[in-house]
Amino acid sequence: MNAIGVDVGGTKIAAGLVTPGGKLLNEARYPTASEPSELLDSLARAIGEAAANDDTDAACVAVAGLLMAKESKVVFSPNLRAIEDLPLKSELERRTGLTVTVENDANAAAWGEFVFGAGSEVENLLFVTLGTGVGGGVILDGNLLRGSQGAGGELGHTTLHATGPRCGCGNRGCFEIMASGLAIERRARRAAADKPDSELGKAVAAKGFSGEEVTELARKGDAPSISVLRETGVWLGIGIAGFVNVFNPEVVAIGGGAAAAGDLILEPARREVYLRARSPSRDLAEIKPATLGEKSGMLGAAALARNASGWIALEAG
C-alpha cells in the first residue's frame, strides 16, 4: 500500500504520497509555522493533501532533532522549537485518520537510502548527511538502529577533537563542528584571511558568501578551496573510521549539501578510513555519495510508515 512520508524542516514541511517501490505520486508543501497549533494544522493539511483520494492508512513524520521515537515525541529541536513536546502522534492521527509515527529526519533519510538508494543492495548501511549540521543513521542486518529510547544513531555529536571548536550542542569538537557545511564555511573564512588575493579570498570578501562556493572554486583549481575541502574530508574520514570499526558496514553513503563536493571531500575521507579503521572492516566499506538527494527523508519516512505496526522489528521492503 502507498504511504505518506513527511519531512519537517526548519523552513518547510513537505508531505509526499509514495508507492512501495519509492515513486513519489503526490506532494504538498507548506512553510513551517513557528507556533505549535499552526504547525499541527499545517502538518495535518499537508498530509491530507498529499493523501488526496488514495486509500493509504499510514504516515510517518520525520523531524530534525532529538527524538524519543517510542513515545513519538520530539524532545529537542533547536531549529524547530514549536515542535518540541507536541503530541504529534495522537493529534495527527485524530485529524487525519491515519496511523502516524514520528522519526528522526536523518534516520528516515538513512532508511530511504537503504530501501531505495545507495544502500538498496546491502544489509548494513551507514548514512551520513553533511548539511548545516551532520546527521546520520545506521542500518544493521536490515534494521534501523534506534537504541533503547529511539534516540540512537546520533552520529553527528560524536567527539572527534577534544579541544576543538564549540558545537551547537555545547560540546567541543563534535563530528558536526569538524565536518559539516558550516565547518567548510568556517575553514574557508580562515583560509581567505590567510590568502586574501586568492579566488577564495575574493569570494569571502564579497557579499553573501556561502560554503557552497568553496566547491565551485575548488573545481576551478583554486588551491585554498581545495585545501579547505581536503581538511574537511580528513575529519569526515576520522569520524567514519570509528563507525566503520564499530558497525562494519558494507556501504557508507554520504548525503547533504556538502556532499556535492564529491571526491574533493570523499577521497581524503577514504584515505583516512583506510589509515585508521581496522581490517577487514576498512576493506569492505565502500564510501560513496547518497543517491536520493533531498527526497531521501520523505521517501524513507514513507517506507517507515508502512512498518508502523512494528516499531521494534523493522524489516526492509
DSSP E strands in the chain: the ranges are 3-8, 12-18, 24-31, 58-63, 66-68, 73-76, 99-104, 125-130, 134-140, 143-144, 251-255, 286-289
* Least Cβ distance, residue 168 to Zn ion (angstroms): 6
User: Which residue lies nearer to Zn ion by CB, 88 or 179?
Assistant: 179
- How many residues does this entry show for the chain? 317
* Least Cβ distance, residue 301 to Zn ion (angstroms): 24
Return the bridge partners of 12, or none: 31
User: Which residue lies nearer to Zn ion by CB, 117 or 173?
Assistant: 173
* Residue indicated by cell numbers 553513503: 253
User: Which residue lies nearer to Zn ion by CB, 169 or 314?
Assistant: 169
* Least Cβ distance, residue 286 to Zn ion (angstroms): 27
* Least Cβ distance, residue 177 to Zn ion (angstroms): 6
CA-atom Rg of the chain in angstroms: 20
* Residue indicated by cell numbers 519509492: 22
* Least Cβ distance, residue 288 to Zn ion (angstroms): 26
User: Which residue lies nearer to Zn ion by CB, 110 or 178?
Assistant: 178
* Least Cβ distance, residue 167 to Zn ion (angstroms): 3
* Least Cβ distance, residue 163 to Zn ion (angstroms): 14
10 Å CB burial of residue 37 (0-12, 13-18, 19+) is exposed
DSSP state for residue 172 in the 8-state scheme: B
Q: Return d(Cα 310, Cα 61) in angstroms, integer.
A: 16
User: Which residue lies nearer to Zn ion by CB, 256 or 300?
Assistant: 256
User: Which residue lies nearer to Zn ion by CB, 66 or 266?
Assistant: 66
User: How many Cα atoms sit within 13 Å of 48 on the Cβ side?
Assistant: 12
CB 133 within 8 A of CB 180: yes
* Residue indicated by cell numbers 488526496: 52
Binding residues for Zn ion (CB under 5 A) = 157, 167, 169, 171, 174
User: Which residue lies nearer to Zn ion by CB, 24 or 169?
Assistant: 169
Take residue 193 and report the three cell numbers written for it. 584571511
CB 285 within 8 A of CB 249: yes
User: Which residue lies nearer to Zn ion by CB, 161 or 276?
Assistant: 161
Q: Return d(Cα 134, Cα 179) in angstroms, integer.
A: 8
Question: Checking phi first, is residue 221 left (phi over 0); if not, alpha (psi -120 to 50) or beta?
Answer: left
* Least Cβ distance, residue 169 to Zn ion (angstroms): 3
